[in-house]
């Protein structure tokens, strides 16, 4: 039996009924779970406060995070831990829907740059019969190369950017003490003179950091979850009206470009 610290970051103490049920009523049948909500207007700060509490407690095997607007299936933590241990994952994230009708997920492919992802995975891709239910960056790349058009695409294998809205990560590793949630933002002026805002979210940075510290980051479609907005956005069915592919075309960078990307990745992970 593992010990899990389950944190729920919330803006003002509010959470959906489904989130509350999953966190306080049916998180697990097999493991010891301590659930705690952390209110506050700074999402990154809330996540770091929860992570700090889990680290200070000691003896915690897994740190779980559940966003206040996500409602996973009953006893989802048992399924996530079983799946993580089966595949040797150090971080496992459930693929959830973005709150729009495009049919895209919150799971993305890293571009190798601090700002800007290569593209988000769509439900048409990850729910295809030939796409693995649980996958890391290499599994995703292998599967996407084999999918028929317009689903198929060649992607970079830099990083799998996982959402932390419904995730678990090991805390019984030495590198776990170096985990942190951060956001990066900037405004740049483009060659055409226009200004553009660019950012890297705290969840994508967190999964990137896990990988850079030596952890294995994986995502799964085995966990049913609803992302609650103006209405429900489920992740357990096809999105016929959704787009097929959000990723572009990837070309192998030249040697000098690879070195430049590597330097940027090192800066980002620091």
Q: Where are the alpha helices (DSSP H) in the chain?
A: 17-20, 43-57, 76-87, 123-126, 137-146, 202-212, 255-269
- 8 A C-beta contact, residue 147 and residue 130: yes
For residue 184, the number of C-alpha atoms closer than 13 Å in the C-beta half-sphere is 14
- Domains with residue ranges and CATH for the chain: 3-269 (3.90.550.40)
The pLDDT tens digits of the residues spanning 217-245 come to 999 999 999 998 766 778 887 766 677 87
Weakest mean pLDDT among 85-89, 111-115, 265-269: 265-269
pLDDT at residue 252 is higher than 60: no
**pTM of the full structure:** 0.87
Higher pLDDT, 118 or 169: 169
The pLDDT tens digits of the residues spanning 20-56 come to 999 889 899 999 999 999 999 998 999 999 999 999 9
3-class DSSP assignment, residue 231: coil
């Amino acid at each position: 039996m593992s010990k899990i610290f389950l944190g729920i970051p919330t803006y003002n103490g509010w959470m959906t009924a489904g989130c509350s049920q999953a966190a306080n009523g049916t998180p697990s049948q097999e493991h010891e779970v301590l659930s705690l909500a952390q209110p506050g207007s700074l999402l990154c700060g809330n996540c770091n406060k929860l992570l700090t509490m889990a680290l200070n407690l000691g003896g915690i095997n897994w740190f779980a995070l559940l966003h206040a607007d996500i409602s996973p299936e009953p006893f989802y933590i048992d399924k996530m831990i079983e799946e993580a241990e089966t595949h040797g994952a150090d971080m496992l994230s459930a693929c959830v829907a973005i709150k729009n009708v495009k049919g895209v997920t919150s799971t993305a492919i890293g571009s190798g740059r601090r700002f800007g992802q290569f593209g988000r995975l769509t439900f048409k891709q990850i729910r295809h019969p030939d796409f693995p239910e649980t996958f890391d960056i290499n599994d995703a790349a292998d599967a996407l190369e084999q999918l028929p058009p317009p689903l198929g695409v060649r992607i970079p294998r830099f990083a799998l950017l996982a959402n932390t809205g419904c995730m678990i990560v090991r805390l019984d590793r030495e590198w776990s003490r170096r985990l942190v949630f951060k956001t990066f933002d900037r405004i740049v002026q483009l060659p055409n003179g226009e200004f553009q805002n660019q950012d890297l979210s705290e969840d994508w940075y967190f999964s990137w950091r896990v990988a850079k510290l030596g952890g294995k980051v994986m995502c799964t479609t085995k966990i049913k979850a609803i992302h609650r907005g103006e209405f429900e956005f489920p992740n357990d069915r096809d999105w016929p009206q959704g787009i097929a592919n959000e990723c572009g075309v990837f070309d192998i960078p030249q040697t000098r470009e690879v070195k430049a990307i590597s330097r940027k990745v090192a800066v980002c992970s620091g």
